[in-house]
Amino acid sequence: MRRGPWNHNLQYHDVVLRAVPPQCMSALDVGCGKGELAQRLATVCRQVTAIDCAPIDRAIPEVHFLAGDFMTYSFPEGGFDLITAVAVLHHLPLRAALTRFRTLLRPGGVLAVIGLYRIDTPVDLALGCCALPISWAIRRCLGEAQVGAPIQDAAETLREIRTAAHEVLPGALVRRHFFFRYSLVWKKVQTEPRQ
């Protein structure tokens, strides 16, 4: 577990960092918020671009911050070895965002998402009931790191997210995590050379 102020999103930054491809040259952190993940990515990726719809009031020499809409910003197709998105996908149109991620990744690149899903099943409800007191206890012990981003409930269930991911990103690994989160990790297939 991380040290210092805590929240549900910071809890899963290590899941994202474990997905970073070897010799990552260029990373894009979508919905970067205060830039905590972007700063950590800069230690393992040569070039990090971080975008958020709100202006970022932070200077990190290794990170290029952009204020703008990820869905419409003019990024080069196939321009990134890694794309990350923590607690962002539920703010975007699901299939359109997954398609945009796929387009912006270069072959061999990795997409790493930590997302929220709508509680729908008895398992979801049971895990949520267990997570609430544990979350409260951790915040009491470590302090609470403010998210600093708009709060929005997730519209899609985990089943709907898995279905969309498998349609748009064949082979994507979607795993349920504690604290109302899931991870989605996908590696874009290398293009086969033409014979």
Cβ atoms of 59 and 36 closer than 8 Å: no
Going by C-alpha positions, the residue among 47, 39, 33, 32 that lies closest to residue 17 is 39
Total structural domains in the chain? 1
User: Does residue 53 sit within a domain?
Assistant: yes
Q: In angstroms, how far is the first alpha carbon of the chain from the final one?
A: 49
CATH number of the domain bearing residue 69: 3.40.50.150
User: Does residue 37 sit within a domain?
Assistant: yes
Instruction: Give per-residue pLDDT as tens, 3-49.
Output: 667 677 788 999 999 999 999 999 999 999 889 999 999 999 999 99
User: Does residue 141 sit within a domain?
Assistant: no
Instruction: Give per-residue pLDDT as tens, 61-102.
Output: 889 999 999 999 999 999 999 999 999 999 999 999 999 999
pLDDT at site 3:
64
User: Does residue 102 sit within a domain?
Assistant: yes
User: Does residue 140 sit within a domain?
Assistant: no
User: Does residue 1 sit within a domain?
Assistant: no
Mean pLDDT of the chain: 90
**Cα–Cα dist 62/57, whole Å:** 15
- Residue 4 has which token pair? 């210092």
User: Does residue 142 sit within a domain?
Assistant: no
- Residue 52 has which token pair? 């958020």
Q: pTM score, two decimals?
A: 0.90
Strand partners, 184: 113, 174
Going by C-alpha positions, the residue among 182, 153, 151 that lies closest to residue 165 is 182
Range of the domain at 167: 10-119+148-187
User: Does residue 50 sit within a domain?
Assistant: yes
